[in-house]
Amino acid sequence: MVKIGNLYRWIYGHLTGKPTNFYWVIKGKLAGSGLPTSLSEVRWSSKEKGIRSIVTIKEKPLSSDWFSDDIKIDYFT
């Protein structure tokens, strides 16, 4: 099931340029979405929606090439 979900997220992201299931939990302050799978999805989140931090629970970190001074990237072990 995970591979199917990963494939769906990848296809959706490459077609739309945004992560799956984006929604505001607290409007303008806290959002949730499917895992970003590309730089364009991270850029959409930061430029279109004003997201400045991304938190994931993946074992493997997101690509550091996707982030700039506009989006904070921290990893905790």
Where are the domains positioned within the chain? 2-66
The predicted pLDDT at position 47 comes to 81
The predicted pLDDT at position 75 comes to 63
Examine the pLDDT at 77 and tell me if it is beyond 60.
no
- What phi, psi does 68 have (nearest 5°)? -135, -165
pTM of the model: 0.74
pLDDT (tens digit per residue) in 4-30: 888 999 999 999 999 999 999 999 889
Higher pLDDT, 62 or 69: 62
The residue-averaged pLDDT of 53-68 equals 79
Name the amino acid, one letter, at 76: F
